[in-house]
Amino acid sequence: MLKFFRLPAALLSAALVFCAAPPVSAQSGADTLVYATGTDAQTLDPQMINDLPTSRVVMHMHETLVRQDDEGELQPSLATSWEVSPDKLTWTFKLRENVKFHDGTPFNAAAVKATFERMMDPATGSPRRSSLEAVERIDVVDEHTVAIVTKQPYAPLLSQLSAYNLAIMSPAQIEAVGAKYSANPMGTGPYRLQEWNQGESVTLVRNEDYWGDKPALKRIRFNVVPEDSSRVLLLLSGQADVISSIPTVMLDRLTGSKDVKILRKPGYRTVFLGMNMKLKPFDDLRVRQAVAHAVDPKALLDGILKGVGTLGGSIESPKVSGAKELPNYKYDPELARKLLAEAGYPNGFEASFYVPTGRYLMDRVIGQAIQAQLSQVGIKANIQSPEWGAMMTALLKQKDQAQLFILGKGSPTGDPDFTMTLSLMTDERVNASNLSDAELDRMIVAQRSQVDREERIKTLHAIQDRVYELVPHVVLFHEDQLYATRANVEGVRVYPNEFVDFTQARKN
């Protein structure tokens, strides 16, 4: 098995030495930062975002009422202070004054109300509409005071309001362009849209009327470069200032380069091998258990990722509040074959296997390794690697093509409720495994109103236990975020929720 893991690394190293960098513009000037990312933005409308790479673009243009800092702590943003009523149902926010949207219209309580009501409207079609499911109504108290009234006590409200999907949008722009907001976003953030060449790049320009400290850099350009080796070459040649998801096989080389700095930080993301429980043969628990025992996460982490990440069996990363420590399923190919025979597949079967390229650390190589592991128990996993947008469509909209897939569950808020609801509840739009369990649904709803921390953590742990028993996926690892910058780049901040903040970046 160890020979198998060395092979992709060797091939990748050769590619890095001999292949030519993709054609891109030469080194950027001192006032422009070029970030090479593995996937393109899927939308510039905050309420339509389904993935964190997209949020990195959108949240340089938009802001939320409260925000997380680079340690995951909640801080004031467009709201300067807040208080909750004794019955825990009404949250009143004082809003920042003298703030304008990019279109010149004022930010105020009416803008908060218009933004949230758009999100709550089923006609909008937001895949994250459930993030405001607990809200009864939004009341404008005065121009700079807004009240959010919930249907019942809602423990994660503040964390929820820090999520990128709840960024505040210009009501004038919402009314003017409607569903076409993605092409013409108007937030309050430190950067505004200059140009979006879909599939290639997004360029943002500094908002000269920004209410806070203005960024040092005039422009940020997000260049789409799916291949790991190409991003590394761009960095080493100076054609990129920052790159995402550096291949771990190159970590030692990049660490030793005087021209490069490594940024590594644990985050909220869990990367897993998912199974579509509505498609045969994965509607059978024994088959899912067999897959769980056929995959060896430790070999993947040690052999491919060089230890960059953390092992664990829970869908929640240890960095997420309320996470429970669970072991990985035991690697036992013999047991896997036995379970397959009991399920009626003594000779195994074939399955479609959707694997991303450039979204997670070494994702394509990880997929090839899993393919080899599954083949040892008779499962022929046929890899397909569409570009990220097409893969997300197949997993989250069509839901009848991918039997197996590699996906990640992060947390924009650091609180389990947000992504737990979206990815584990029956018929939720990010539930790529088509998991449906009445007891699980009941517990997820129950934890929201449990304002007593110990009571809520008990329920959160029970949720993770139940998911572990149902085996909708096999947790591969809890991902460390791994970025690299040119040595002359300062001030890039990486957050636990995977936001990469360029607002304080500069080039020396």
As a whole number, the mean pLDDT across the chain is: 92
Predicted pLDDT of residue 6: 38
> Residues 6 or more apart from 444 whose CB is under 8 A from it?
417, 420, 421, 424, 425, 463
Predicted pLDDT of residue 401: 84
**Cβ(260)–Cβ(306) under 8 Å?**
no
Domain spans, the chain: 2-44+185-265+484-507, 62-173, 267-480
Query: In Å, how far are 362, 392, 396, 415 from 406, measured between CA atoms?
Result: 12, 11, 13, 23
Arithmetic mean of pLDDT, 483-504: 95
Predicted pLDDT of residue 70: 84
Q: How many CA atoms lie within 13 A of 45 on its CB side?
A: 20
**Cβ(419)–Cβ(409) under 8 Å?**
yes
CA dist 483 and 492 (Å) reads 10
Closest CA to 90 of 138, 133, 130, 142: 138
CA dist 235 and 284 (Å) reads 46
Residue carrying the six token digits 């690892």: 477
> Residue type for 506, please?
R
Q: Please, which pLDDT band fits residue 30 given cuts at 50, 70 and 90?
A: confident
Q: What is the pLDDT of residues 244-264, one digit of tens each?
A: 988 888 888 899 899 999 999
Q: Please, which pLDDT band fits residue 212 given cuts at 50, 70 and 90?
A: very high
Residue % of the chain over a pLDDT of 70: 94
CA dist 377 and 337 (Å) reads 6
CA dist 271 and 475 (Å) reads 6
Element (H, E) at 454: helix 453-470
CA dist 410 and 107 (Å) reads 30
CA dist 220 and 216 (Å) reads 11
Arithmetic mean of pLDDT, 425-449: 95
Q: What is the pLDDT of residues 265-280, one digit of tens each?
A: 999 999 999 999 999 9
Arithmetic mean of pLDDT, 269-296: 98
Predicted pLDDT of residue 250: 87
**Cβ(427)–Cβ(399) under 8 Å?**
no
Q: What share of the chain is helix, strand, coil (3-state, %, to 5)?
A: 35, 25, 45
Q: Please, which pLDDT band fits residue 28 given cuts at 50, 70 and 90?
A: low
Neighbours of 236 (CB within 10 A): 20
Residue % of the chain over a pLDDT of 90: 83
| DSSP β-bridge partners for residue 145 | 94, 142
What CATH number matches the domain at 2-44+185-265+484-507, 3.20.20.70, 3.40.190.10, 3.30.930.10, 3.40.50.300? 3.40.190.10
Q: What is the pLDDT of residues 453-472, one digit of tens each?
A: 999 999 999 999 999 999 99
CA dist 462 and 449 (Å) reads 16
Closest CA to 182 of 37, 55, 53, 46: 46
Neighbours of 152 (CB within 10 A): 12
Q: What is the pLDDT of residues 56-72, one digit of tens each?
A: 999 999 999 999 988 88
| DSSP β-bridge partners for residue 223 | 36, 201
Long-range contacts: 121-125, Cβ < 8 Å, 24+? 124/47, 125/48
Predicted pLDDT of residue 52: 86
Arithmetic mean of pLDDT, 26-38: 84
User: Please, what is the angle between helix 416-424 and helix 453-470, to 10°?
Assistant: 30
User: Please, what is the angle between helix 438-448 and helix 416-424, to 10°?
Assistant: 160
- The CA-to-CA distance between both ends of the chain, in Å, stands at 46
The CATH homologous superfamily of the domain defined by 267-480: Dipeptide-binding Protein; Domain 3 (3.10.105.10)
Query: Where does 62-173 sit in CATH, by number?
Result: 3.90.76.10
What is the β-pairing status of strands 349-354 and 260-275?
A: unpaired
